[in-house]
Amino acid sequence: MTFPAIICLVLALLSMFISLVLADPTIFNVVSYGAKPDGKTDSAQAFVSAWTKACASMQPATIYVPAGKFALGQVIFIGPCSNKVNVMLIGTLVAPSDYTVLGNKAYWVVFQNINGLKVSGNGILDGQGTSLWACKSSGKSCPLGATTLEITNSNNIVVSGLTSINSQMFHIVVNACNNVNMQGVRVIAAGNSINTNGIHVQLSSNVTILNSNMRTGDDCISVGPGTINIWIENVACGPGHGISIGSLGKNQQETGVQNVTITTANFTGTQNGVRIKSWPRPSNGFARNIIFQHVNMVNVQNPIIIDQNYCPSKDCPHQV
Ligand SMILES: *[C@@H]1O[C@H](CO)[C@@H](O)[C@H](O)[C@H]1NC(C)=O
Ligand SMILES: *[C@@H]1O[C@H](CO)[C@@H](O)[C@H](O)[C@H]1NC(C)=O
Ligand SMILES: *[C@@H]1O[C@H](CO)[C@@H](O)[C@H](O)[C@H]1NC(C)=O
C-alpha cells in the first residue's frame, strides 16, 4: 500500500468511527428499524417502531424515510409525543394494490393526537386507487376505500411538499385540528375517479393551504362543518369539482363554517369553480364570512354555484 492510500484508509475509518459515535440521536431512519425500500415488503411495523422512538424523544426528532418504495398497510402514528416530530419523506409510500386490504379501513396513513408535527420532503403517497375506482364505476358493490392521509385531533401541523397520487378515497383529511399550514402540496388522480377529494378540512381552525396544485376526480378542496379561519391562496384546481364549502347541513345539530378566504386560484377544466352546498334539511349549520377573490376560470362548467338543495343520491328523507 502506498503512503497516500494508507492515509485515505485511516481517514475513512476515522470518519466512520466519528459518524457512528456522533450519529445524531434525534434522527430515526425507518430502514434502521427494518423498513425495506423494495416496494413489496410491508414496512408498517418498522415505521411504527421508528415513530415510537421519535415520539418519545425529549428533543425534537426526525423520522427519515429515504429514497425507495415502501409498501405499507394501514399505519397509525399516535401521540402525544414528548417534543416536536418531523417526518422527512424522501421516498414513496405505496398502499396495497388489492383494495380489499384497506377497503373498509377508513384511513391509510394517520397522524393523531400530536402537537407539533411537520411532514416534508417531496415524498409521494401512492394510494393505488385505480382498481377501486374501476370497481365503483362498474356499479358493482365495492368497499368505500381508505383516505390516503388523515391528520386528526392535532395542533401546530406543517405539511410541505408532499404529493398524493391515486388515493382510493379522499387524498388528505384534516379533522379536529388547530393551526395547520399546508404548502406546496400536490394531488394527482384521474378526472373521472370517484370520491377522490384533494384536501378536506373539518372541525378545524386556523388552517392555511398555500401554493398547491390539485388534479383529481372530486372536489379539489372541500371545507366541511366546523371549519373556522381558513385561508387558501395560490392554488390550482383541475380536473376536479372545484373548491367547495360543504356539504353542510346534513345533520340537525352541526357546527358552522366561518371566515373562509380563497384568494388567487386557477380552475382549469373543472366541473365547478367555487361552490357552497348544503342539504335540504333542517339544521343549525351555517356558512358565514366567505370570500372568494382573484379567481381565474378556464373551461369551467359551473363557475359559481350556491346549491341549497344538495342531494347527490336523490334520496333525502327529511327534505323540507
Ligand atoms: C386561531 O387564530 C386566532 C387568530 O390568530 C386566535 O385568536 C385563536 O385563538 C386561534 N384559535 C385557536 C383554537 O387557537
Ligand atoms: C379570519 O381568518 C384569518 C386567517 O385565515 C385571520 O387572520 C383572521 O384574524 C380571521 N378573522 C377573524 C375575525 O377571526
Ligand atoms: C395560475 O395561472 C396563471 C396564468 O396562467 C399562472 O401564471 C399562475 O402560476 C397559475 N397559478 C397556479 C397556482 O398554478
Q: Say what the pLDDT of residue 80 is.
A: 98
- Of 12-16, 19-23, 100-104, 189-193, minimum mean pLDDT range: 19-23
Mean pLDDT across 177-202: 98
Q: How confident is the model at residue 17 (pLDDT cuts 50, 70, 90)?
A: low
What's the pLDDT score for residue 311? 86
What is residue 18's predicted lDDT score, i.e. its pLDDT?
56
Structure confidence at residue 27 as a pLDDT band (50, 70, 90): very high
The grid cell for 165 is 397520487
Q: Which three cell numbers, joined as nine digits, stand for 195?
A: 370520491
Average pLDDT over residues 13-28: 69
Distance 186 CA to ligand 3 centre (A): 14
Alpha-carbon gap, residue 33 to 30, rounded angstroms: 5
| Residue nearest ligand 2's atom 8 by CA | 229
User: Measuring from atom 13 of ligand 2, which residue has the nearest CA?
Assistant: 259
Q: Tell me what pLDDT residue 25 has.
A: 82
Are the C-beta atoms of residues 283 and 255 closer than 8 Å to each other? Answer: no
Name residue 63's beta-bridge partners. 28, 87
Please give the distance, rounded to the nearest whole angstrom, from the Cα atom of residue 147 to the centre of ligand 3.
Answer: 28
- Residue 16: per-residue pLDDT: 62
Q: Is 234 in the pocket of ligand 3 (CB under 6 A)?
A: yes
User: d(Cα 307, Cα 286) in Å, to the nearest integer?
Assistant: 13
Q: What is the pTM of this model?
A: 0.92
pLDDT in the model for residue 218: 97
Nearest alpha-carbon partner for 207 in 193, 224, 187, 227 = 227
- The string of pLDDT tens digits covering residues 255-290 is 999 999 999 999 999 999 999 999 988 999 999 999
Q: Which sequence positions are flagged as catalytic?
A: 241
User: Closest Cα to atom 4, ligand 2: which residue?
Assistant: 229
**Cell reading at 113:** 393526537
Ligand 1, atom 7, lies closest to the CA of 206
Mutation pick for ligand 3 pocket among 182, 209, 264, 266 (CB with most ligand atoms within 8 Å): 266
Q: What is the pLDDT of residues 44-95, one digit of tens each?
A: 999 999 999 999 999 999 999 999 999 999 999 999 999 999 999 999 999 9
Pocket test for ligand 2, best of 180, 208, 259 (most atoms within 8 A of CB): 259
- Average model confidence (pLDDT) for the chain? 94
pLDDT band, residue 317 (cuts 50/70/90): low
CB half-sphere exposure, 188, CA atoms < 13 A: 9
Question: What's the average model confidence in pLDDT over 28-54?
Answer: 98
Looking at residue 313, what is its pLDDT?
A: 76
Task: Evaluate: CB of 229 within 6 angstroms of ligand 2.
Answer: yes
CB distance 258 to ligand 2 below 6 Å: no
Cα gap 238→273, rounded to integer Å = 10
Asked whether the beta carbons of 268 and 236 are under 8 A apart, the reply is yes
Please, which residues have CB within 8 angstroms of residue 141's CB and are 6 or more apart in sequence?
A: none
Q: What's the confidence (pLDDT) of residue 19?
A: 58
Q: What is the mean pLDDT of residues 228-242?
A: 98
CATH architecture of 24-307: 3 Solenoid (2.160)
Q: What is the 3-state secondary structure of the chain?
A: CCHHHHHHHHHHHHHHHHHHHCCCCCEEEHHHHCCCCEEEEECHHHHHHHHHHHHHCCCCEEEEECCCEEECCCEEEECCCCCCEEEEECCEEECCCCHHHHCCCCEEEEEECCEEEEEECCCEEECCCHHHHHHHHCCCCCCCCCEEEEEECCEEEEEECCEEECCCCCCEEEECCEEEEEECCEEECCCCCCCCCCEEEECCEEEEEEEEEEECCCCCEEECCCCEEEEEEEEEECCCCCEEEEEECCCCCCCCEEEEEEEEEEEECCCEEEEEEECCCCCCCCEEEEEEEEEEEECCCEEEEEECCCCCCCCCCCCC
Which pLDDT tens digit goes with each residue over 111-127?
999 999 999 999 999 99
Q: Determine the distance separating the centroid of ligand 2 and the alpha carbon of 307, expressed in angstroms.
A: 25
pLDDT band at 99 (very low <50, low <70, confident <90, very high): very high
Nearest of 260, 263, 266 to residue 239 by alpha carbon: 266
* Distance between CA atoms of residues 108 and 48, nearest Å: 13
The predicted structure's pLDDT at residue 58: 96
Cis peptide before 247 (omega within 30 of 0): yes
Ligand at shortest distance from the CA of 233: 3
Task: Please tell me the predicted confidence (pLDDT) of residue 312.
Answer: 81
